[in-house]
């Protein structure tokens, strides 16, 4: 909420009553706002939030930034509610939708919700990526343990201890040691069923 | 107070006299003007003259918005009759909503809209698309070529039509969109594509001056309407008059009204219209909606004792009128109109032979996402004539 004033907002909307209302309210709130129509092919550097008028002519426009990963949150401004338009809105993964005619009231809540939810979604995605990495690492450690148990004739607990001690003495992660074990095993050509 | 009681009641009229859709909008304006003359001959609004202030929005949405604002704020009217393309209606709605005006809209459109400040008197998709799909698929086959103008009404109409076709196991041969001001050459290219892909019929959502170009291109490449007609929701008597009856003959249109509707009310209206506006004038679905909505408005104003929008909005929903197409009624909940679906085939005289008509009016359902062909057969008994 405190960062509203430093929020860099790009408005892609025609210069009509709705566009003016949107722009005016962003200025009243104190965001740093720029408006363009038709939408730019390249996003301005450092954009935190985008308002995009979903008008029929936008459907056939080529906006390469729309499909890129990690784009700022997009808040669609809709003035049609036909299934074809709703379909286009769904593709934006929007966290807030502004309906025409645009009213000043409600815009503040919408931008805060959109920015906040987008941030939460990003955090969640990062967390999921970390979990995925960890699961993949665990899978490699399991495989390395199985190799050690078979080739050294040790228990699972001891196999893990070998990996962990190696990691600590070489100051690398257990996953890296596991990879080394797996690689060595593949080079030596010993068939180990895990 | 007495002075005011004798003053005329004025309403705004926004139909384009120039631009891509001027032919059909001129017709809507004339339908409105016929009703205005009849209303005044019958004593106006409780003795007050019923006047219109009419501007030319030139088929451009921004002009519609600016003129609607001018009508409400400068001319001080409360009610506006007008608009054809959805883009123009969408431009006027924020204006009437912001300043408390009322728009009466006499044109078929793609649905998915309600504004408490709008009354819709043209057909919703469940009152024309479903009927057209049912008729075409049964009479001509299920391979369809879709061609439309590049804006929202054709996208949405094609979505509805695609659903209905896939429901029957039919096939969409192509879906092509042309700019509203597309050239003759681009229509010839489309006509050649149609000829090459040999569909069972063409579904056209081309509007405005493109309609004539499409039909002319169709004739130019020697396609036969009897074997492979163009089916449309918009091609009406006005466009046929513009393009010539010879190239329109044999094509199919779904609409709640044709000039050829065989009723006492319609015959009286058409003859009245020609007496005042000239013996060569033709009527059509948009003319008729413009005509009856003006009468519905006048009736409501008589009951309200004026043009106060809040009063009119209490009276108009639920009100009925004996229109040229038959009895019509404004739905209390969704502000659209109960209408009578019909299927017509253009004949050599530039008129339509009515091939089918619903026995009763059909309730408007503008938010129907998934149309099924059963909607038509369960709601309405078809009658071959």
Q: Residue B382 has what pLDDT?
A: 45
pLDDT at A192 over 60: no
Mutation site, B112, B160, B179, interface A, largest A CB count within 10 A: B112
Q: Residue A54 has what pLDDT?
A: 92
pLDDT at A101 over 60: yes
pLDDT at B279 over 60: yes
pLDDT at B379 over 50: no
Q: Are residues A16 and A88 in the same domain?
A: yes
B368 to chain A, any CB pair closer than 8 A? The answer is no
pLDDT at B172 over 70: yes
Domain that holds residue A22: 2-105
Region A180-188 average pLDDT: 88
Chain A positions with Cβ closer than 8 Å to B? 16-18, 56-57, 59-60, 79-85, 100-101
Mind telling me how many Å the CA of A68 is from chain B's nearest CA?
26
Q: What 3-state class would DSSP assign to A80?
A: coil
B118 to chain A, any CB pair closer than 8 A? The answer is no
B125-260+341-384 placed in CATH 3.40.50.2300? yes
Lowest mean pLDDT among A32-41, A181-190, B206-215: A181-190
CA A149 to chain CA mean position, Å: 40
Average pLDDT, chain B: 93
In chain A, which residue's Cα lies nearest the Cα of B69?
Answer: A17
pLDDT digits (tens, 9 = 90+) for A124-175: 999 999 999 999 999 999 999 999 999 889 999 999 999 999 999 999 999 9
pLDDT digits (tens, 9 = 90+) for B317-340: 999 999 999 999 999 999 999 999
For residues B287 and B31, the answer to whether their CB atoms sit within 8 Å is yes
Q: Are residues A71 and A7 in the same domain?
A: yes
| CB pairs < 8 Å spanning A and B | 48
Region B35-41 average pLDDT: 97
Q: Residue B384 has what pLDDT?
A: 41
pLDDT at B188 over 90: yes
Residues in contact with B381: Cβ distance below 8 Å, sequence separation at least 6, in sequence order: B358, B359, B360
Lowest mean pLDDT among A180-184, B3-7, B149-153, B179-183: B3-7
In chain B, which residue's Cα lies nearest the Cα of A99?
Answer: B94
Q: List residues bridging with B203 in a β-sheet.
A: B146, B231
Asked if residue A170 belongs to a domain, the reply is yes
pTM over 0.95: no
Q: Are residues A95 and A145 in the same domain?
A: no
Q: Do B369 and A80 touch (CB under 8 A)?
A: no
In chain B, which residue's Cα lies nearest the Cα of A79?
Answer: B90
Asked if residue A111 belongs to a domain, the reply is no
Q: How confident is the model at residue B4 (pLDDT cuts 50, 70, 90)?
A: low
Residues B180/B182/B184/B190 CA torsion (nearest 10 deg): -90
Percent of chain B whose predicted confidence (pLDDT) is above 70: 95
Q: Do B95 and A17 touch (CB under 8 A)?
A: yes
pLDDT at A191 over 70: no
A85 contacts in chain B (CB < 8 Å): 152
A18 contacts in chain B (CB < 8 Å): 94
Q: Are residues A19 and A90 in the same domain?
A: yes
pLDDT at B272 over 50: yes
B156 to chain A, any CB pair closer than 8 A? The answer is yes
Average pLDDT, chain A: 90
- Identity of the residue in B93, B152, B369 whose CB atom sits nearest the CB atom of A56: B152
Q: How confident is the model at residue B5 (pLDDT cuts 50, 70, 90)?
A: low
Q: How confident is the model at residue B385 (pLDDT cuts 50, 70, 90)?
A: very low
Q: Which of the pair, A82 or B254, is modelled with greater confidence?
A: B254
Neighbours of A80 (CB within 10 A): 22
Q: List residues bridging with B330 in a β-sheet.
A: B337
Indicate the pairing of strand B252-255 with strand B342-346. antiparallel
Of the candidates A90, A105, A120, which is a domain's last residue?
A105
Of the candidates A105, A140, A155, which is a domain's last residue?
A105
Mutation site, B111, B155, B177, B180, interface A, largest A CB count within 10 A: B155
pLDDT at A189 over 70: no
In which order are the strands placed within the sheet that holds B326-330?
Answer: B320-323, B326-330, B337-338
Region B170-192 average pLDDT: 93
Q: Do A56 and B65 touch (CB under 8 A)?
A: no
Asked if residue A16 belongs to a domain, the reply is yes
Cα distance between residue B122 and residue B236, in whole Å: 13
Q: Residue A55 has what pLDDT?
A: 82
Helix H or strand E segment including A98: strand A98-99
Q: Are residues A75 and A144 in the same domain?
A: no
- Identity of the residue in B65, B155, B177 whose CB atom sits nearest the CB atom of A84: B155
B363 to chain A, any CB pair closer than 8 A? The answer is no
Asked if residue A157 belongs to a domain, the reply is yes
- Which CATH number do you get for residue A179? 1.10.10.10
Q: How confident is the model at residue B380 (pLDDT cuts 50, 70, 90)?
A: very low
Q: Do A17 and B93 touch (CB under 8 A)?
A: no
The DSSP result for B99-151, as a single string, is TT-EEEE-S--------TTEEE-S--HHHHHHHHHHHHHHHT-SEEEEEEESS
For residues B342 and B356, the answer to whether their CB atoms sit within 8 Å is yes
Cα distance between residue B276 and residue B294, in whole Å: 17
B97 contacts in chain A (CB < 8 Å): 101
Q: Are residues A8 and A94 in the same domain?
A: yes
- Identity of the residue in B98, B151, B159 whose CB atom sits nearest the CB atom of A83: B159
Q: Do A59 and B65 touch (CB under 8 A)?
A: no
Residue B288's closest CA among B249, B326, B233, B315?
B326
The structural domain count of chain A equals: 2
Residue B240's closest CA among B344, B88, B357, B89?
B344
Asked if residue A114 belongs to a domain, the reply is no
Q: Are residues A92 and A141 in the same domain?
A: no
- Identity of the residue in B62, B94, B152 whose CB atom sits nearest the CB atom of A101: B94
Q: Are residues A26 and A65 in the same domain?
A: yes
pLDDT at A193 over 60: no
Region A4-32 average pLDDT: 92
pLDDT digits (tens, 9 = 90+) for B94-121: 899 999 999 999 999 999 999 999 999 9
Residues in contact with B89: Cβ distance below 8 Å, sequence separation at least 6, in sequence order: B83, B103, B105, B107, B109, B118
Residue B159 to residues A65, A81, B155, B172, B205, Cα–Cα distance (Å): 27, 14, 6, 11, 12
Q: Residue B373 has what pLDDT?
A: 67
The DSSP result for B153-169, as a single string, is HHHHHHHHHHHHHHHTT
For residues B52 and B14, the answer to whether their CB atoms sit within 8 Å is no
Q: How confident is the model at residue B368 (pLDDT cuts 50, 70, 90)?
A: confident
Q: Do A17 and B98 touch (CB under 8 A)?
A: yes
A100 contacts in chain B (CB < 8 Å): 90, 94
- Identity of the residue in A16, A56, A82 whose CB atom sits nearest the CB atom of B112: A82
* Range(s) within chain B of domains with CATH label 3.40.50.2300: 2-123+262-338, 125-260+341-384
Q: Are residues A15 and A77 in the same domain?
A: yes
Residues in contact with B178: Cβ distance below 8 Å, sequence separation at least 6, in sequence order: B147, B148, B149, B150, B186, B187, B190, B206, B210
Between positions 9 and 28 of B, the ones with CB within 8 A of A are: none
- Which CATH number do you get for residue A8? 3.40.50.2300
Tell me B54's DSSP state: E
Q: Which of the pair, A69 or B374, is modelled with greater confidence?
A: A69
Q: Are residues A43 and A96 in the same domain?
A: yes
Region B228-242 average pLDDT: 95
Please give the CATH topology (third level) of the domain spanning B2-123+262-338: Rossmann fold (3.40.50)
pLDDT at B377 over 70: no
């Amino acid at each position: 909420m405190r960062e509203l004033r430093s929020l860099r907002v790009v408005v892609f909307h025609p210069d009509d009553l709705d566009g003016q209302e949107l722009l005016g309210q962003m200025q009243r709130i104190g965001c740093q706002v720029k408006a363009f129509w038709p939408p730019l092919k390249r996003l301005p550097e450092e954009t935190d939030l985008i308002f995009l008028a979903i008008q029929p002519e936008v459907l056939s426009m080529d906006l390469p930034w729309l499909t890129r990963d990690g784009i700022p949150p997009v808040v669609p401004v809709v003035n049609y509610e036909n299934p074809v338009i709703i379909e286009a809105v769904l593709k934006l993964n929007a966290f807030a939708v502004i309906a025409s005619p645009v009213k000043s009231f409600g815009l503040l809540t919408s931008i805060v919700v959109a920015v906040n939810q987008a941030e939460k979604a990003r955090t969640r995605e990062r967390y999921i990526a970390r979990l995925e990495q960890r699961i993949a690492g665990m899978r490699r450690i399991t495989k390395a343990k199985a190799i050690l148990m078979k080739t050294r004739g040790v228990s699972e607990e001891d196999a893990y201890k070998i990996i962990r001690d190696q990691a600590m003495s070489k100051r690398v992660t257990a996953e890296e040691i596991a990879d080394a074990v797996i690689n060595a095993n593949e080079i030596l050509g010993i068939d180990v069923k895990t | 107070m007495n002075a005011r009681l004798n003053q005329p009641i004025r309403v705004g009229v926004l139909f384009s006299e120039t631009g891509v859709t001027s032919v059909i909008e001129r017709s809507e304006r004339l339908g409105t003007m016929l009703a205005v003359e009849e209303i005044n001959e019958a004593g106006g609004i409780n003795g007050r003259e019923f006047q219109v202030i009419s501007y030319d929005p030139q088929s451009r949405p921004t002009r519609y918005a600016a003129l609607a604002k001018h009508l409400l704020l400068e001319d001080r009217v409360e009610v506006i009759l007008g608009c054809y393309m959805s883009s123009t209606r969408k431009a006027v709605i924020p204006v009437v909503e912001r300043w408390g005006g009322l728009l009466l809209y006499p044109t078929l459109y793609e649905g998915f809209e309600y504004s408490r400040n709008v009354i819709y008197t043209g057909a919703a998709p469940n009152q024309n698309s479903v009927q057209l799909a049912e008729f075409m698929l049964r009479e001509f086959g299920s391979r369809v070529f879709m061609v439309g103008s590049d804006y929202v009404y054709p996208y949405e109409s094609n979505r509805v039509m695609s659903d209905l076709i896939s429901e029957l196991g039919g096939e969409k041969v192509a879906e092509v969109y042309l700019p509203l001001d597309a050239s003759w050459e681009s229509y010839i290219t489309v006509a050649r594509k149609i000829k090459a892909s040999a569909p069972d019929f063409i579904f056209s959502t081309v509007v405005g001056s493109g309609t004539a170009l499409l039909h002319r291109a169709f004739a130019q490449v020697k396609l036969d309407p009897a074997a492979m007609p163009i089916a449309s929701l918009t091609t009406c008597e006005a466009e046929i008059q513009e393009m010539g009856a010879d190239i329109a003959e044999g094509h199919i249109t779904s609409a709640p009204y044709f000039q050829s509707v065989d009723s006492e009310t319609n015959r009286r209206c058409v003859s009245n219209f020609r007496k005042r506006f000239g013996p060569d004038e033709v009527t059509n679905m948009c003319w008729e909606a413009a005509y009856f909505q003006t009468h519905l408005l006048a009736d409501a104003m008589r009951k309200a004792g004026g043009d106060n929008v809040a009063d009119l909005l209490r009276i108009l929903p639920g009100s009925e009128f004996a229109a040229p197409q038959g009895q019509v009624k404004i739905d209390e909940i969704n502000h659209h109109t109960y209408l009578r679906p019909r299927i017509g085939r253009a004949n050599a005289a530039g008129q339509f032979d009515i091939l089918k008509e619903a026995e009763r009016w059909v309730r408007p359902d503008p938010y129907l996402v998934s149309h099924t062909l059963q909607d038509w057969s369960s709601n309405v008994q078809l009658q071959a004539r």
